[in-house]
């Protein structure tokens, strides 16, 4: 890893991680050398709006974070990638970057997954990330809107709040800014409560999110949205089916039509991924299946194949996820896979005509009835208690540095990660007294 620059050190101290995904520590990206920095404002998970709301209310802060990152990475340009349909936001951003020659706006179409960083890097730079690679391999750093917002705050406050949209079957869909560690139940209550009795949340979105039924779970730095749905909604039933049901249905009903592959956004960019071959592997013994499973190694789990492409309602995207996990358990990754022949990706000529409009996706997911504005609620919320996980990031978990009974103030360090290890510290999101320390720190106001 490159030596940390001042900005990267600041981001590490402030606990900044990628707010839109697995929580990759941002100081790593900030200490790399890039020629282009992209702010990913595509937000293509249906119904989620938190990035739009952050831009509507905090565009100058986001631009400030982008400029700091451009400067730290030595990049010559910073690009905000946003869907063309958000005309108001594009106008706000144009005003915010006026006179800043290194910054520009890239207008994206309204398709899924416009936010996939491989697609986005290609759309903006014309470069294809090598197979098994990451954006910096082609000189690009990509961060989502909230991450860049947090970067702009890092010299004043560590990351103690998270933004999320709460929508779906709730009385008042909204976007909230809440202390990290607030419970999902409190977020739903702030959105007016659920409109049906037996509801679950799609945590992170309809496509890539997971079904959560225990609303006592805490929000983390990477929480981005909760779509509340009745437990009997077809999308929930589909996501809840589980591996053995996915395998059984796949074995008996996949007719190898190849539509899952034909619409796979990574396949269309020229990557060695073919979900129909992973499905074919279901018919083979465990050892032979391993060979077929390697066609899943470059899957980004966007679930377009499962939730849109397959005419039989099978789940090739989920099967690819299991295949990758099985291969990882046997230490098989792209770099040591026999499929890896050092080949370079090459865009499929038909790709521009195979982008899936969000409107069609919403209809297929059965979410049209839940279409609603989810404006940012500005008033601060003080939860009576928070439960802050010590691992909200890629890397080693933070080690607690507080004890039960200790008084803490919002912003105080409560979990530490040694300098030589990958990870970031964790901070108190409210002032109060520490009431439990396990793999989380509970603070009661």
169 binds ligand SF4 (CB under 6 A): no
Distance CA 168, CA 45 (A): 13
CB 295, CB 131: distance < 8 Å:
no
Compare residues 58 and 112 and give the one whose CB is closer to ligand SF4: 112
Give the list of residues 6+ apart from residue 390 with CB closer than 8 angstroms, or none: 397, 398, 399, 400, 415, 426, 439, 440, 441
309 binds ligand SF4 (CB under 6 A): yes
29 binds ligand SF4 (CB under 6 A): no
CB 208, CB 299: distance < 8 Å:
no
260 binds ligand SF4 (CB under 6 A): yes
Q: Of 191-199, 259-267, 354-362, 369-377, which segment contacts ligand SF4 by CB under 6 A?
A: 259-267
Closest listed residue to residue 392, CA positions, set 350, 441, 334, 445: 441
Distance CA 253, CA 38 (A): 41
301 binds ligand SF4 (CB under 6 A): yes
Compare residues 29 and 277 and give the one whose CB is closer to ligand SF4: 277
Q: Of 151-159, 188-196, 212-220, 250-258, which segment contacts ligand SF4 by CB under 6 A?
A: 250-258
* Binding residue for ligand SF4, selected from 255, 288, 347, 373, defined by CB under 6 A: 255
* Binding residue for ligand SF4, selected from 2, 257, 404, 445, defined by CB under 6 A: 257
Closest listed residue to residue 20, CA positions, set 132, 160, 164, 130: 164
Least CB distance from residue 143 to ligand SF4, whole Å? Answer: 21
Count of positions (residues) in the chain: 445
Least CB distance from residue 39 to ligand SF4, whole Å? Answer: 23
* Binding residue for ligand SF4, selected from 312, 351, 375, 416, defined by CB under 6 A: 312
304 binds ligand SF4 (CB under 6 A): yes
Distance CA 439, CA 6 (A): 30
320 binds ligand SF4 (CB under 6 A): yes
Q: Of 125-133, 181-189, 225-233, 314-322, which segment contacts ligand SF4 by CB under 6 A?
A: 314-322
State the greatest distance between any 2 C-alpha atoms of the chain, in Å, as a whole number.
63
275 binds ligand SF4 (CB under 6 A): yes
* N- to C-terminal Cα separation, the chain: 40
Compare residues 99 and 311 and give the one whose CB is closer to ligand SF4: 311
Could you give the 3-state DSSP secondary structure of residue 352? helix
Give the list of residues 6+ apart from residue 156 with CB closer than 8 angstroms, or none: none
* Binding residue for ligand SF4, selected from 259, 269, 327, 441, defined by CB under 6 A: 259
Closest listed residue to residue 265, CA positions, set 115, 390, 160: 115
Closest listed residue to residue 216, CA positions, set 70, 373, 47, 387: 387
* Binding residue for ligand SF4, selected from 81, 96, 174, 302, defined by CB under 6 A: 302
Q: Of 185-193, 295-303, 362-370, 398-406, which segment contacts ligand SF4 by CB under 6 A?
A: 295-303
142 binds ligand SF4 (CB under 6 A): no
Least CB distance from residue 249 to ligand SF4, whole Å? Answer: 9
Distance CA 398, CA 419 (A): 11
Q: List interacting residues with ligand SF4 (CB under 6 A).
A: 254-260, 264, 266, 273, 275-276, 279, 299-305, 309-310, 312, 314, 316-317, 320
């Amino acid at each position: 890893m490159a030596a940390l620059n001042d900005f990267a050190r600041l981001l590490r101290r402030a606990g900044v991680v990628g707010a839109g995904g697995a929580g990759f520590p941002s100081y790593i990206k900030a200490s790399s050398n890039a020629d282009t920095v992209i702010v990913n404002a595509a937000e293509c998970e249906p119904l989620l709006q938190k990035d739009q709301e952050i831009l509507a209310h905090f565009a100058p802060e986001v631009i400030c974070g982008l400029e700091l990152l451009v400067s730290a990475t030595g990049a010559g340009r910073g690009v905000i990638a946003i869907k063309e349909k958000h005309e108001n936001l594009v106008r706000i951003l144009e005003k915010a970057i006026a006179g800043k020659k290194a910054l520009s706006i890239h207008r994206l179409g309204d398709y899924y997954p416009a936010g996939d960083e491989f697609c986005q890097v290609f759309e903006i730079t014309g470069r294809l990330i090598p197979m098994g690679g990451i954006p910096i391999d082609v000189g690009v750093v990509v961060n989502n809107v909230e991450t860049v917002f947090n970067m702009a705050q890092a010299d004043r406050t560590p990351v103690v709040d998270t933004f999320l949209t709460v929508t779906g079957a709730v009385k008042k869909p909204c976007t909230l800014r809440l202390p990290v560690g607030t419970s999902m139940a409190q977020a739903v209550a702030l959105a007016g409560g659920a409109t049906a009795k037996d509801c679950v949340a799609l945590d992170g979105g309809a496509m890539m999110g997971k079904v959560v039924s225990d609303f006592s779970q805490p929000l983390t730095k990477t929480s981005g949205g909760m779509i509340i749905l009745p437990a009997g909604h077809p999308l929930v039933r589909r996501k809840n089916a589980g591996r053995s049901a996915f395998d059984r249905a796949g074995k008996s009903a996949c007719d190898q039509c190849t539509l899952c592959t034909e619409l796979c956004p990574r396949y269309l960019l020229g990557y060695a991924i073919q979900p129909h071959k992973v499905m074919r592997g279901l018919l083979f013994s465990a050892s032979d299946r391993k060979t077929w499973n390697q066609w899943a190694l470059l899957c980004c789990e966007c679930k377009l194949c499962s939730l849109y492409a397959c005419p039989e309602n099978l789940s090739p995207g989920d099967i690819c996820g299991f295949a990758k996990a099985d291969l990882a358990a046997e230490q098989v990754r792209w770099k040591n896979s026999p499929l890896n022949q050092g080949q370079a990706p090459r865009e499929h000529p038909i790709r521009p005509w195979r982008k899936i409009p969000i409107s069609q996706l919403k209809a297929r997911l059965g979410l049209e009835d839940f279409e609603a504005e989810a404006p940012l609620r500005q008033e601060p919320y003080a939860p009576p208690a928070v439960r802050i996980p010590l691992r909200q990031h890629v890397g080693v978990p933070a080690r607690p540095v507080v004890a039960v009974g200790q008084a803490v103030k919002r912003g105080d360090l409560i979990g530490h990660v040694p300098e030589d290890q990958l990870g970031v510290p964790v901070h108190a999101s409210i002032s109060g007294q520490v009431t439990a320390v396990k793999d989380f720190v509970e603070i009661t106001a």
